[in-house]
Amino acid sequence: MAIPIIGPLIEIGNSIVGGIKDHFEAKRKIKEAVTENKIRMALSEQSHNQTWEMKQIENSGWKDDILFYAWIAFFAWTAYDPEQARVVFENWEILPEWFLNVSGWIIGSVLGVKKLGDYLPPLIGGVKEVLKKKE
């Protein structure tokens, strides 16, 4: 009886994969825009006024991605070696509360705002498509 569930799960998976593909396509477009902007700035006599803007475009996102993948890897590791993960969580209890709060804010802002913005819309779109097909 699990067969009727496979179709919607595949559709949700396809929607998620599509969202990830769109995310990397957007990154490619940013890289292309950076290259075009560098060419434009090289031809411009006033390029010195735009250097800070270029740095902002070039540095957008890679640090967030590293943190996101490290966080995901940490949770995958806890499933692989739960005993060692327990030791890590016990050591976290020793850290000062202010440190844990600041770390939580940083991780929450990166993972909560940026990554949810990247991955949640395609997931919601996939769920909506599945629900429409069921009706």
User: Quick count: other Cβ atoms within 10 Å of Cβ 122?
Assistant: 20
Its pTM stands at 0.38
State the total domains in the chain. 1
Structure tokens at 109: 């802002």
pLDDT 10s per residue in the chain (135 long)?
446 666 666 777 777 777 778 778 888 888 888 788 777 776 665 555 566 556 655 555 667 677 778 878 888 888 888 899 889 888 888 999 999 898 888 777 766 666 666 677 777 877 888 888 776
- Residue 15 burial by CB count (10 A; 0-12/13-18/19+): exposed, middle or buried? buried
How far apart, in whole angstroms, are the C-alpha atoms of residue 87 and residue 89?
A: 5
What domain range includes position 12? 3-134
Measured CA to CA in angstroms, residue 131 lies from 75, 121, 135 at distances of 30, 15, 7
Closest CA to 116 of 57, 63, 64, 56: 64
pLDDT at position 98: 93
E strands in the chain: none
pLDDT at position 133: 78
